[in-house]
């Protein structure tokens, strides 16, 4: 059997703030004089029993308050990249949530400086390439996303694309049509979370209105056979996150997860960790979980790994090099 941790692969759905392990959270809290409402690392970990996406997001936003200066973002990102490289990742498209930091007084430049420093170092030291994708929070006003985009200025060339995340239901993709059009015109990559908790109509809107290159999650497409046919025909990459879906109760157990059926059906599926510090594992652990729970074969593992590289924003040359 293949060693799943050495299979060359890419990760396409990873929120850098979701890699904040409790140990680092407490260390940064002490450094920055931030008081976390938990007694200990163990007590914080005990909170990781989520009801749904919203209950996770509340803890996710509260805990990232320990990230204050560029060195904090750099440490966070370095720690993730080291784990990622150790599990066979050769490229990663990294999401970050600027509004979650600017609303608490941390400047956008500070966030990007820290993350970028770690991404650049990983390229040189670990042979791990990356892109950086700025996510708009869909449960905040679309006008705020537009203002954020306008304010990018000298930061614009330091990001490679945009995404859309946070609480999904009631915040459909079409609300963000204008800022997506501007991002596309600026030559950025465009992706969006759709069909995680909300239905297939959100996936259609992401494709038709936002004109995304990939759909993040997308698993609710299975409710709509015509949409599945379209996703197969157009080979739209779906960045599926099996451990996340179980922890956020989108799917009951890993053994019930449809990801391998989706692969066999001809969908361009990739598997990803989403928020690995909170959901029980990094991308190598996701592959291992699928082997343990669903009997992932070597051929399926190789197909998922190949899809992840093909659907990444690594660029033609680098994709060829990884294969």
- Shortest separation between residue 227's beta carbon and ligand HPA, angstroms: 20
- Tokens 């990760």 identify what position? 11
- Tokens 């002490």 identify what position? 30
- The correct pick among 4, 14, 18, 128 for binding ligand HPA (CB under 6 A) is 18
**CA-CA distance, 159 to 157, in Å (whole number)?**
6
The option from Zn ion, ligand HPA, none interacting with 53 (CB < 5 to 8 A, set by class) reads: ligand HPA
The count of C-alpha atoms lying within 13 angstroms of the C-alpha of 53, restricted to the half-sphere facing its C-beta, is 18
What residues have CB less than 8 Å from 157, skipping those under 6 apart?
Answer: none
- Shortest separation between residue 15's beta carbon and Zn ion, angstroms: 6
Touching ligand HPA, residues 262-291 (CB under 6 A): 274-275
Examine the residue annotation and report whether 43 is marked as an active-site residue of this protein. Answer: no
- The correct pick among 207, 274, 278, 283 for binding Zn ion (CB under 5 A) is 274
- The correct pick among 4, 11, 12, 15 for binding ligand HPA (CB under 6 A) is 15
Say whether residue 17 binds Zn ion (CB under 5 A): no
- Shortest separation between residue 156's beta carbon and Zn ion, angstroms: 23
Element housing 237 (H / E): strand 237-240
Touching ligand HPA, residues 23-62 (CB under 6 A): 53, 60
- Shortest separation between residue 201's beta carbon and ligand HPA, angstroms: 17
Q: Which is nearer to Zn ion, 26 or 176 (CB)?
A: 176
**CA-CA distance, 152 to 187, in Å (whole number)?**
14
The option from ligand HPA, Zn ion, none interacting with 166 (CB < 5 to 8 A, set by class) reads: ligand HPA
Q: Which is nearer to ligand HPA, 176 or 319 (CB)?
A: 176
| Residue 175, number of CB atoms within 10 A of its CB | 18
Residue tagged active-site, from 11, 17, 21, 196: 196
Element housing 60 (H / E): helix 53-63
Q: What angle do CA 38, 42, 47 make, to 5 degrees?
A: 60
Q: Which is nearer to Zn ion, 68 or 308 (CB)?
A: 308
DSSP string, 99-166: HHHHTTT--HHHHHHHHHHHHHHHHHHH--EEEEEEEEETTS-HHHHHHHHHTTGGGGGG--EEEEES
Burial of 87 (0-12, 13-18, 19+ CB in 10 A): buried
- Shortest separation between residue 274's beta carbon and ligand HPA, angstroms: 5
Q: Is 275 annotated as a binding residue?
A: yes
Touching ligand HPA, residues 172-211 (CB under 6 A): 193, 196
| Residue 185, number of CB atoms within 10 A of its CB | 8
Number of residues that bind Zn ion (CB under 5 A): 1
Q: What are phi and psi of 241, to 5 degrees?
A: -130, 85
- The correct pick among 244, 272, 273, 312 for binding ligand HPA (CB under 6 A) is 244
- Shortest separation between residue 241's beta carbon and Zn ion, angstroms: 6
- The answer to whether 240 and 258 have CB atoms below 8 angstroms apart is no
Best CA proximity match to 25, nearest among 11, 14, 7, 37: 37
Residue ranges binding ligand HPA (CB under 6 A): 15, 18, 53, 60, 165-166, 193, 196, 244, 274-275
Binding residues for substrate: 275
Binding residues for Zn(2+): 13, 15, 193, 274
Residue ranges binding Zn ion (CB under 5 A): 274
Binding residues: 13, 15, 193, 274-275
């Amino acid at each position: 059997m293949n060693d799943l941790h050495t299979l060359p692969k890419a990760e396409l759905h990873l929120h850098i703030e979701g890699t904040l392990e409790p140990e680092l959270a407490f260390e940064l809290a002490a450094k920055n004089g931030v008081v976390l409402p938990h007694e200990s690392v163990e007590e914080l970990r005990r909170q990781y029993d989520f009801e749904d996406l919203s209950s996770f997001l509340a803890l996710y936003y509260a805990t990232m308050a320990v990230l204050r200066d560029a060195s904090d973002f750099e440490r966070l990102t370095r720690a993730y990249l080291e784990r990622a490289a150790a599990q066979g990742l050769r490229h990663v498209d990294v999401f970050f949530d600027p509004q979650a930091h600017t609303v608490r007084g941390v400047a956008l430049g500070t966030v990007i400086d820290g993350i970028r420093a770690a991404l650049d170092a990983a390229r040189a030291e670990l042979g791990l390439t990356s892109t950086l994708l700025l996510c708009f929070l869909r449960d905040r006003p679309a006008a705020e996303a537009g203002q954020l985009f306008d304010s990018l200025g000298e930061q614009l060339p330091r990001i490679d694309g945009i995404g859309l995340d946070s609480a999904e239901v009631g915040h459909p993709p079409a609300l963000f049509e204008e800022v997506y059009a501007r991002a596309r015109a600026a030559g950025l990559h465009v992706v969006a979370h759709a069909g995680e908790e909300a239905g297939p109509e959100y996936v259609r809107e992401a494709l038709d209105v936002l004109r995304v290159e990939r759909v993040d999650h997308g698993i609710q497409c299975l409710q709509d056979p015509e949409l599945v046919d379209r996703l197969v025909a157009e080979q739209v990459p779906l960045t599926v996150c099996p451990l996340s879906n179980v922890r956020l109760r989108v799917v009951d157990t890993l053994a019930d997860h449809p990801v391998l059926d989706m692969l066999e059906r001809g969908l361009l599926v990739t598997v990803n960790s989403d928020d690995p510090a909170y959901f029980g594992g990094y991308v190598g652990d996701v592959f291992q979980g699928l082997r343990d729970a669903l009997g992932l074969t070597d051929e399926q593992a190789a197909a998922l790994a190949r899809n992840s590289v093909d659907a990444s924003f690594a660029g033609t040359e680098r994709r060829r090099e990884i294969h």
